[in-house]
Amino acid sequence: MTTIDIDALGTSQLLMGNEAIARGALEAGVAFGAAYPGTPSSEIMGSLITVAKQMGIYAQWSVNEKVALEASAGASFAGIRAITSMKQNGLNVVSDFLSTLVITGTGRGGLVLITCDDPSAISSSNEEDTRPIAKWFGIPLLEPGNFQEAKDMTRWLFDLSEKLGSICMLRSVTRISHARGCVRLGKLPRRKHKAYFEQVHDIWNAAPSKFITEPSVKRHVSQYLRLDKAREKFESSPFNWYVGPDRADLLIVTCGSCWLHSQEAVRMLKLEDKVGILKLGTLWPIPEKFIEKHLGKSKRVLVVEEIDPFLERSIMELVANLPFGSLHPLFYGKRSGHISACGEQNPDTVLKAITSIMDLTYQPREIKYTRKAEQAAKDIPNRAATLCPGCPHRATFWSIKNALRLDGRNGFVTGDIGCYYLTTGSTGFFQTRTMQCMGGGIGLANGLGRLGQFGFNQPVLAVCGDSTFFHAAIPALINGVYNQSNFILAILDNNATAMTGFQPHPGTGITAMGEPTKIISMEALCRSLGARVEVCDPFNLKDTTATLLSMIEDEDGGAKVVIMRRECELVRARREKRLPYKVYVDFDKCIGEACGCNRLCTRVFHCPGLIWDREAGKPKIDEVICAGCGVCADICPQGAIIRERADS
């Protein structure tokens, strides 16, 4: 496997887009990195962390994106090149600091912010476009159209940031960040980094320091000047180019991974001499003169981009500002419906748009085959994502379901993103009824738990993960204790940021770079607030259910905390490489459909390791899948699921 610090100038390596971004930062001489993990961005900081010690640089997992950006800006203020990375939702979290950082500007060290958007929300709760935020805040923005550019743009942005004195942004998407391609490597600098915070009077603005927002309006003017400078540089940027004929029947304007899809669609239709492609890499401010020059190539313009019609609107704005009587092309894209407003693009969607505009027909293969294949695949059952075999959350939600049922007042769970997202479906027994963003569930519980005076008496159980607790739940919990809101917060502590790749967090006692550090105790922290706090092992179904029920029925209102503590099964399995229990079904004890349990194990508990043997009419364990947690042995009313210590 290639590691991103390989010293192999000029060689071509297979890199994930995120690794290419990290490599670009290394080639730029980055010395400080801070991020909170979030798919599809996590491997940027992840791969920097892996090489940090050898490269003599520093990188951390921060508790959230805002702290990560602030920490990185601190490094920049002291003259150190710094990077922060996040998924699209992270940009919302940093927005307060970001909106003022663009006013003060950055320090002597370049500061680059990477956002990785997730069109089609493959691993996200929304498909948010971060490009308009760059425009909104006034931040120079680039987007790579391939893996090489992911590296080269990142490297160049550090220079730009220092020249402008502004934070610069790179927007990537899942199909760049989480795809892999060949990247030709540049030189790795070996430089000494010296950090120093210069405390000098800002004479130009008559302010005691450069890094305060006052005088805001004057600084706002400077910000516009920085953007003008950026635009000027973008006009001749090698990240923008045109391929195609001098006069084209159709001009495609595109950016990001849509460049790869567009190029492929044109090639598949063999329209290289009729359709031109204007590929843009500098997205804000847009290079107006460069675009204007190429708009004249065709009377028809198709804008291909993902999520918002960002380029489409920006180019229409540009056309509206052209002198009276100028050429005005026909625009196709999201407004015209040729490119879908939601979901990601691919070569087929672009192909469809081109054939529709140019009135062409395209049939990929024989219709007879297509019909037959589609018909055959139609009956394949859907494969819903589930909690992993051996996942502690399945056991936790089993107890939650039973405790809420025993209470009988129609209690419910307000949920969070991450693996718990899955508990909105059958794998979590449909217990989770709300899901928005990190910490959103406990915030909601604050409101729901204060509705008693309006007749509300349903128990509210907010759920979040251990990493989310540190990221976004603490202020909401304090609010709940302070305002005496009636809810239970269940922290599902599996000792890792599991969904994004098992990154450590403040509760784990280890830093990103592998140094031992203080363990921040969730129970001590919560108890210090005066909340009732219980700690359960979710694999002990009986005790967990009893504890939950006692908390639900606790006559003392207010916010309470239960910590469900059990290591993520994927982490355990990686370390131990063996199963804790051998689990099997005793066919003599199991009475199948005659039991009256209505197939509690396979129909309700829904662990992928338990399958139904049709011939026997009984369940059995799929030994390829079973993780050997043995929890299912406790749910069988007949005691027919047997667990034996693997070493006995």
Partner 1 sequence: MKALAKEPLNLVITGVGGQGNVLISLLISEALVREDYLVVIGETYGVSQRNGSVISHVRISKETQCSPFVPNRHADIILGMEPAETLRMLGQFGNPDVITIVNPRPIYPIDVTGGEAEYPDLGELIETINELSAKTYVINAVEEAQKLGNLILANVILIGALIGADILPLDRKSLEPVLKQRFPKEFEANMIAFNKGMELVGW
Q: Which residues bind partner 1 (CB under 8 A)?
A: 1, 12-14, 39-40, 122-124, 146-147, 174-175, 178-182, 257, 260-261, 263-264, 267-268, 346-348, 351, 364-366, 369-370, 372-374, 376-388, 419, 421-422, 426-427, 499, 599, 602-604, 606, 608, 610-612, 622, 624-625
Q: Find out whether 6 and 15 touch, Cβ atoms under 8 Å.
A: no
Residue with Cβ nearer partner 1 (200 or 376): 376
**Closest separation in Å from C-beta 284 to partner 1:** 25
**Closest separation in Å from C-beta 16 to partner 1:** 9
- Closest by CA to 421, choosing from 386, 369, 451, 458, is 386
Judged on CB neighbours under 10 Å (0-12, 13-18, 19+), 594 is exposed
> Whole-angstrom Cα distance, residue 393 to residue 442?
18
The token pair at 428 is 């979590």
**Closest separation in Å from C-beta 476 to partner 1:** 25
Judged on CB neighbours under 10 Å (0-12, 13-18, 19+), 407 is middle
Residue with Cβ nearer partner 1 (53 or 603): 603
Q: Which amino acid is at 387?
A: L
Residue with Cβ nearer partner 1 (198 or 622): 622
Residue with Cβ nearer partner 1 (395 or 422): 422
Neighbours of 195 (CB within 10 A): 14
Residue with Cβ nearer partner 1 (192 or 383): 383
Residue with Cβ nearer partner 1 (378 or 518): 378
**Cβ partners under 8 Å of residue 477, min gap 6:** 442, 489, 526, 529, 531, 559, 561
- Closest by CA to 287, choosing from 239, 251, 326, 247, is 239
Residue with Cβ nearer partner 1 (386 or 638): 386
**Closest separation in Å from C-beta 585 to partner 1:** 13
Residue with Cβ nearer partner 1 (300 or 599): 599
> Whole-angstrom Cα distance, residue 506 to residue 64?
11
Residue with Cβ nearer partner 1 (491 or 626): 626
**Closest separation in Å from C-beta 279 to partner 1:** 13
Q: Measured between alpha carbons, how far apart are the two ends of the chain, in Å?
A: 39
**Cβ partners under 8 Å of residue 426, min gap 6:** 384, 606
> Whole-angstrom Cα distance, residue 182 to residue 172?
17
> Whole-angstrom Cα distance, residue 473 to residue 647?
40
> Whole-angstrom Cα distance, residue 557 to residue 553?
9
Backbone angles phi, psi at 34, to 5 degrees: -145, 140
Residue with Cβ nearer partner 1 (39 or 494): 39
> Whole-angstrom Cα distance, residue 452 to residue 557?
11
**Closest separation in Å from C-beta 457 to partner 1:** 33
Helix/strand/coil (H/E/C) assignment for every residue in 343-359:
CCCCHHHHHHHHHHHHC
**Closest separation in Å from C-beta 47 to partner 1:** 15
Residue with Cβ nearer partner 1 (19 or 70): 19
**Cβ partners under 8 Å of residue 7, min gap 6:** 188
- Closest by CA to 205, choosing from 220, 192, 190, 215, is 215
Helix then strand then coil, in percent of the chain rounded to 5, is 40, 20, 40
**Closest separation in Å from C-beta 176 to partner 1:** 8
